[in-house]
Structure 1
Amino acid sequence: MINPELHKKPVALDRVAHRNLKIRREMSALDATAGLNAFFITAAEFADACKEYPILFLRAGKDEQGKDLCAPVTVFGLLKGENLVYRHGRWNARYVPALLRSYPFAMAPTPDKQFVVCFDETSPVFSQTEGQALFDEKGEPTPYLEEVRQFVEKIEIEVDRTRLAGRKMMEMNLLQDKRFDATLPDGTPLSIDGFMAVDEDRLKNLSDAEVLELQRTGLLALLHFHMASMSNISRLLEIHVEKRAGEKQ
């Protein structure tokens, strides 16, 4: 999955063109996340991510059948371009979303609906002279690149599952547009909108058959993880206030 905010210049790996490409694994690729205030996660990550971040949903257009889609995201900051989790060259949370862990690699579809491993050509972790080789002297993928391929392939499978889960939530009208308002200690108002969260009234009034369907499909657990994660908004607010106070000193 290619994210334009992260993968600035994705290029398909080619065993001929990139025969000598290496990656300096000791360098952190997460510098590229410094301006990200939210990022996509898969449904398989909810249980871990809900302990660290608010999990919200964004509208994601429609699928080929015209059905509404949504995308779950972990929230890292309260303002556009603000990442309160990645600071001073470190990711200050125990869980890092899978797509960020795979960066600067990703998997992307080709015009003939195949998938290829890509890399972000703008990432400074790549080199022609030093680091972990991606291809061996015969032009075959190294064990490291094979591990990368397996990881991004697994992510792509989970992305498809997440898309289906989001479509079902939208079909059942389980999500609604929300707004978060707060006032900072100095009196500055802070508002966050443009996201969706669970419609708790709708959830409470589901029929027994609907509850059973959600339980069997795993969607009920996802909604509970999402609801539990909302308490992390106050934690982000605290970090935001501390950061602003530090900048004024």
Structure 2
Amino acid sequence: MPIWELLDQSRHADLRVTRAGDSTRHFAQIVADEFLQAAPYYPILFTKHPETGAFYAGVVMGVEPGRNLLTTDGLLPDYRPADLERQGFFVGDDGIVVDREHPAFAQTGGQALFESDGTPSVALKRVQHALQRLQAGIPATDAVIQRFLAHRLLEPIDVTLNFDDGKPLRLEGLYTVSLDALHALPDAAALELFRNGDLQLAYAQAGSVRHLRTLARIRNSRLAEAGA
């Protein structure tokens, strides 16, 4: 059961946060403000919330739940999405709330949340920035997605990955921007998307899909290593 507590320097002076849990995350939500930072490293795709059916964006880091193919020694070597940075932390009515039972909090190792003088540590400042980015970015991203949907730019993407062990994997429930639909837009619609900054995001997302091949290659090489 989660143990929710309002973040407090005196109560949580010894609490330490770790990134070790990244190795079990195969997908993380991102906001539009992160697209350009994430696109050089991850496939960015859209999916739907299982409960609401609303679209949201995320980065794919593995092809199977519970396995991140991009971590090295348990850590991501490149851009770390805000959704990972804030693991174990949430925004409450009165401030930042922590879930003491979340695996982001380490019994040993990790980084302290507060300096010896009680001020926020570098680790906590990263969390605060991530929470602020998500809080502002989620409604902004929802608006971008609604504009994409209004122009019928999102389409399902069929992802079937074949491996040397003969067992293909199919990734379902994922969507991408259709460049064909984008290029067929009337000039006025394209100009509107450009002025909103949506065109840049659409091309960044569509171009990032190529990283799915990287994930397949990494998994295939690990299968070969395991079988050697």
Note if 1:100 corresponds to 2:89: no
Identity %: 23
- Preserved CA contact (<8 Å) 2:43 2:210: yes
Aligned length: 224
Shift of 1:212: 0.6
Task: Please identify runs of 4+ aligned residues in structure 1 that moved more than 4 A.
Answer: 133-137
Shift of 1:170: 1.9
Shift of 1:142: 2.9
Shift of 1:172: 2.1
Structure 1 runs not aligned, ≥5 long: 1-7, 109-113
| Superposition TM-score, scaled by structure 2 size | 0.83
Equivalent residues in 2 for 1:1-249 (5 A)? Answer: 9=2, 11-15=4-8, 19-23=10-14, 29-60=18-49, 69-91=54-76, 93-108=77-92, 114=93, 116-122=95-101, 123=103, 125=105, 132=112, 134=114, 142-144=119-121, 147=125, 148-249=127-228
SS at 2:69 equivalent: coil
SS at 1:19 equivalent: coil
Query: What do the CA deviations read for 1:193-248 (whole angstroms, capped 9, x no partner)?
Result: 21111122211210111101110111111110011101111111110101112222
- Preserved CA contact (<8 Å) 1:12 1:118: yes
- Matched residue type, 1:34: S
Alignment RMSD: 3.1
The 1:22–1:182 alpha-carbon spacing in structure 2 relative to 1, beyond 3 Å, is same
Query: What do the CA deviations read for 1:123-148 (whole angstroms, capped 9, x no partner)?
Result: 46367xx97465999xxx73439834
Farther-moved stretch of structure 1 (227-236 vs 162-171): 162-171
> Which residue pairs with 1:4 in the alignment?
none
The structure in which a higher percent of residues are strand is 1
Query: What do the CA deviations read for 1:141-176 (whole angstroms, capped 9, x no partner)?
Result: 734398344542233111221122122222221101
SS at 1:159 equivalent: helix
State the alpha-carbon separation in 2 of the partners of residues 162 and 230 from structure 1. 19
Shift of 1:82: 2.0
SS at 1:72 equivalent: strand
| Superposition TM-score, scaled by structure 1 size | 0.77
Shift of 1:42: 1.0
- Preserved CA contact (<8 Å) 1:21 1:135: no
The 1:11–1:82 alpha-carbon spacing in structure 2 relative to 1, beyond 3 Å, is same
- Matched residue type, 1:19: S
- Preserved CA contact (<8 Å) 2:24 2:67: yes
